[in-house]
Amino acid sequence: MKLYEYKAVDVSDGFKAVKDVDMTGRIITGYAAVFGNKDLGGDIIEPGAFLKTLKERGPKGKNRITFLNQHDTWQPQGKPTILKEDGTGLYHETPVVNTTLGNDTLKLFDAGILDSFSIGYRTLNESRQGNANHLKELHLYEYSSVTFPMNEQAVYTGTKGLNKDKLERRIKQLEKFCDNTDCTDETIEMLLIHIKQLQQELIEFTGPEAIATPPGNDIKAVKSVLLVESINNYINNF
């Protein structure tokens, strides 16, 4: 049994994991997990899987479940005021802290760049049924905003299931956001890395001749040629 696992919400079929972004109240509303969806690892979360952990660790318990950035415990972004199961999945309403990171997160969700969540959990009870593994009880540590999951078993709206047109639209969306945002350099750098990854995916559809030079000719001067080179080096060694 794995002690710590990740699972992202599958929004590839049009499911809206983010239900509302209140920029004034700084509250993000949506689903950190959904029931009945089989991910790439063959796992299905069953209704009731979170009931015990929510009672013990949720907002009405010890309040130990935290909203993180990229599953990084050194980057907390808030704690939910509401975290509960409903007919769809694990519903949350989360005030985002007033920090530089929190401000960037709100801007990214408001622009639709971030549109899903991923949970960090430990499986306590599961059973194999047919070709799926049913998760019956989970110990929830945290849920996170994720740009792209590092766990290949996490189903996310990133590059998985995207066709050529969707990849091109996603790249243009990210380039436009980077061109006009006042987010921090670190956040823009992360998005530029993500654009580079999407471009690599696009090569499979179009061939390398269709990929332009690093995104956005005016992304704050593309953070200088040195930044682009550092991104390329990062991807090459990823």
The confidence score (pLDDT) of residue 155 equals 31
Contact call for residues 10 and 118 (beta carbons, < 8 A): no
Contact call for residues 81 and 97 (beta carbons, < 8 A): no
The confidence score (pLDDT) of residue 157 equals 34
Listed as ranges, residues in the chain with pLDDT below 70 are: 1-2, 148-163, 197, 204-238
Q: What is the DSSP code (8-state) at residue 238? A: -
The confidence score (pLDDT) of residue 34 equals 92
- Residue 131 burial (CB count, 10 A): 7
- The gap between the terminal CA atoms of the chain, to the nearest Å, is 28
The confidence score (pLDDT) of residue 156 equals 30
The confidence score (pLDDT) of residue 2 equals 61
The confidence score (pLDDT) of residue 171 equals 83
- Residue 219 burial (CB count, 10 A): 23
| DSSP H/E element including 129 | strand 117-129
Nearest to 49 by CA among 149, 119, 146: 119
Amino acid at 20: D
